[in-house]
Amino acid sequence: MQDKPIFRITKSTKISVLSGAGISAESGIPTFRSADGLWNDANLVKLATPRGFLADPERGWEFYDKRRQNMAACKPNHAHLSLAQMEKDGYDITVITQNIDRLHQRAGSTGVIELHGTVWELKCSNPSCAMSPFENHDVPLKEKYPICDYCHSPLRPNVVFFEEMLDEKVVRAANARTLDTDLFLVIGTSGIVYPAAGFAELAKMNGAYVVELNIEETQLTYFCDETRLGKCGETLPALLEEFTGGEYKFISG
Ligand code: BJW
């Protein structure tokens, strides 16, 4: 059997990354669907739905406040940092993330497309309220749950709960970039949640070279050109060095 050709990255290669919870696992942020993942507790899954959160905003905020405290204490790891360094070195790289933790931005990546929003913004839970989402970094939160100044409804994190539509502009941006990609890296996601997982399929259908980096095979593995098993904090810097033929060297310091 013939060996697969090694993909070669140059500065004109358009690289896109679809990242999921696994990229932040080595920073200490729990994933959702692993053996000790957040979604093993069905009650927590309910809190990540619009109805579940609003039914008990105090409990909802207890869940998100704890996670914000953890996220604030965590640092970007080698996977986030290697992508940011790639961008700084002049490579054309865009991160499309499902993560709400902002670790890509803290590592130095710019123009990150946040498919599922961010926990560092709050918005009003009343869809008819005119208040716009705003930054909030209070850790822990000052109150049991924050209230909208305008309409007095509970505020909520500006994240995409299950059964909610993703922001149309965000989806359009992710779609456009995916269709304009030579190398598509699928990092640390189970590929279960749509429409996010669909971007990896779209990239493949559009002719991109698709590489998955995960500690185990996923339901996306079958169509990827390569799957590299292992912790992405190790496999990603190694892959970037390999695909640039050594032109890019990750500096971990
Ligand atoms: C490592 C590693 C290391 C570990 N190195 N790797 C049937 C009924 C109802 C709905 C649906 C349905 N079928 C489809 C839907 C739609 C639904 C969906 O996809 N559901 C599936 C679960 C079936 N999607 C939606 O609801 C979306 N909206 C939508 O479709 O609107 C239309 C609609 C309207 C009304 C009804 C139905 C549809 C919205 C999805 C929003 C997802 N929100 C969450 C929560 C965000 C806020 C929060 O964090 O609290 O987003 S859920 C959660 O899953 C989070 C994540 O972004 C997302 C994806 O998870 P991810 O990142 O892949 O994490 P894991 O844990 O699954 O995987 C981690 C991976 O890392 C694993 O593979 C590990 O092996 C790996 N790993 N360590 C490398 N060191």
Measure the CA–CA gap between 122 and 136, rounded to whole angstroms. Answer: 6
Same domain, 153 and 37: yes
Same domain, 68 and 127: yes
Predicted confidence at residue 237, as pLDDT, reads 98
Residue nearest atom 18 in ligand 1 by C-alpha distance = 193
Residue nearest atom 73 in ligand 1 by C-alpha distance = 190
Work out whether strand 117-124 and strand 134-135 pair parallel, antiparallel, or are unpaired.
antiparallel
Same domain, 11 and 54: no
For the record, the structure tokens of 34 come out as: 């692993």
Same domain, 83 and 63: no
Residues marked as catalytic: 116
> Does residue 50 have its Cβ closer than 6 Å to ligand 1?
no
Same domain, 122 and 217: no
C-alpha distances in Å from residue 20, one per residue of 53, 72, 109, 151: 22, 18, 15, 34
Same domain, 151 and 171: no
Predicted confidence at residue 2, as pLDDT, reads 47
Helix, strand and coil content of the chain, in percent to the nearest 5, comes to: 35, 20, 45
> Does residue 190 have its Cβ closer than 6 Å to ligand 1?
yes
Same domain, 128 and 147: yes
Q: 131 CA distance to ligand 1 centroid (A)? A: 27
> Does residue 230 have its Cβ closer than 6 Å to ligand 1?
no
Predicted confidence at residue 4, as pLDDT, reads 56
Same domain, 193 and 234: yes
Buried b (16+ CB within 10 A) or exposed e, 132-167: eeeebeeeebeeebbebeeeebbbbbbbbbeeeebe
Q: 3 CA distance to ligand 1 centroid (A)? A: 34
Tell me the residue range of the domain where 124 lies: 30-73+118-159
Q: How many domains does the chain have?
A: 2
CATH code at position 138: 3.30.1600.10
Predicted confidence at residue 3, as pLDDT, reads 58
Interacting residues of 139 by C-beta distance below 8 A, sequence separation 6+: 65, 68, 69, 72
Measure the CA–CA gap between 113 and 148, rounded to whole angstroms. Answer: 26
- Boundary residue ending a domain (103, 130, 159): 159
- Stated as kind and residue range, the H or E segment containing 134 is strand 134-135
Same domain, 242 and 141: no
For 132-157, how does the pLDDT look when each residue is reduced to its tens digit (9 = 90+)?
999 999 999 999 999 999 999 999 99
Residue nearest atom 16 in ligand 1 by C-alpha distance = 194
Q: Which residues of the chain have pLDDT under 50?
A: 1-2
> Does residue 189 have its Cβ closer than 6 Å to ligand 1?
yes
- Boundary residue ending a domain (159, 192, 216): 159
Rounded to a whole number of angstroms, the CA Rg of the chain reads 19
- Stated as kind and residue range, the H or E segment containing 212 is strand 209-214
CATH code at position 23: 3.40.50.1220
Measure the CA–CA gap between 174 and 201, rounded to whole angstroms. Answer: 13
Same domain, 44 and 12: no
Tokens 């890509």 -> residue: 104
Same domain, 220 and 246: yes
> Does residue 160 have its Cβ closer than 6 Å to ligand 1?
yes
